[in-house]
Amino acid sequence: MQSFGYGSYITASLTLYMQYDLHTHSTVSDGTMTPTELVQHAGKNGVDVLALTDHDSTGGINEAMDAARATGISLIGGVEISVKWERMTVHILGLDIDPGGATLQEGLARLRVSRQWRAEEIGRKLDKAGFQNAYEGAKKYASGQLIGRAHFARYIVECGKASTVSDVFRKYLVKNKPGHVTGQWATLEDAVGWITDAGGYAVIAHPGRYKMSATKFRRFIEQFRENGGVGIEVVSGSHSPSDRHNMAQYAKRYGLYASQGSDYHGPENPWIEIGRLQDLPEGCKPVWALWS
């Protein structure tokens, strides 16, 4: 039995009633709400602790912090880093990071240069496939900080060449499709290192989405841990109930802290809502125990 001091007993009791959403996006990456709108929306939905985790950028954190102070919710600085591991793209969340961390900022800046290169390349390939000025079109949907595939997808829907953003991904933006370009992302070691160096906690994002064999997934978790990774998303907007159950088992087996986040990108995706999450399964150690 673990023994708790009186203080941690009170903390545990209080945090039990707090609503956490530790994975969200703003217009700084491919979300559709500004950091301020996102925080206000989270507040309306009863979120007490929110992490802003834009792709490869911490550019929205300061604005979100100000909005959170005004809204009375607690804002955790975060980021979602694009990683290439064994020829797959995976995402690693950094939670409770200091956005002033120099190594982190140098690394993220490098990733945004790669993103810019990839966006121009996607634009050229889509133009060859019959679009006109796809890059310029996608850019209109981006706030100017970075361009991702979601911005291309919104433009192609506007062009009437597909009816939904998911259709665009399926038809144009994934492997073996005309607008696919392999991203040049961070190594697992770098991403976890940058996060740790910035005082944050590295967490495997939406593990249920990765198409890995069980053997490969165990290798991934082991390398993630060897590099200093400490957490895994157990509850995610893109997890099925069985993903949640499986990831809780992995968390326990590998001694990882469990995280929960909607991966909210905006109201266009009505099946994912900020702060509407299932509880962590029994026996999971919540990742927020690391900072609260």
Note whether 237 and 25 are within 8 A (CB): no
From residue 13, alpha-carbon distances to 3, 47, 96 in Å are 15, 17, 21
Residues 71-90 that bind Mn ion (CB under 5 A): 80
> Which is closer to ligand AMP, CB of 73 or CB of 131?
131
Can you tell me which residue has the tokens 């809204």?
A: 71
Is residue 30 within the footprint of Mn ion (CB under 5 A)? Answer: yes
Q: Which stretch binds Mn ion (CB under 5 A): 44-52, 91-99, 152-160, 211-219?
A: 91-99
Buried b (16+ CB within 10 A) or exposed e, 226-236: ebebbbbbbbb
- What backbone torsions phi and psi does residue 264 show, to the nearest 5 degrees? -65, 135
- Could you give the CA distance from residue 87 to residue 225 in angstroms, rounded to a whole number? 19
Can you tell me which residue has the tokens 């990742």?
A: 287
Is residue 23 within the footprint of ligand AMP (CB under 6 A)? Answer: no
Is residue 21 within the footprint of Mn ion (CB under 5 A)? Answer: no
> Among 62, 116, 166, 240, which residue sits at the site for ligand AMP (rule: CB under 6 A)?
166
Which listed option, Mn ion, ligand AMP, none, makes contact with residue 166 (CB within 5 to 8 Å by class)?
ligand AMP
Positive or negative, the CA dihedral 109, 91, 239, 78 is negative
Residues 199-258 that bind ligand AMP (CB under 6 A): none
Is residue 169 within the footprint of ligand AMP (CB under 6 A)? Answer: yes
Q: Which amino acid is at 204?
A: I
> Which is closer to ligand AMP, CB of 150 or CB of 284?
150
> Among 49, 67, 150, 188, which residue sits at the site for ligand AMP (rule: CB under 6 A)?
150
Q: CA torsion angle for 101, 22, 283, 46 (degrees, to 10)?
A: 140
Chain residues binding ligand AMP by CB under 6 A are 30, 55, 82, 148-150, 165-166, 169, 265
Chain residues binding Mn ion by CB under 5 A are 30, 80, 91, 205, 263
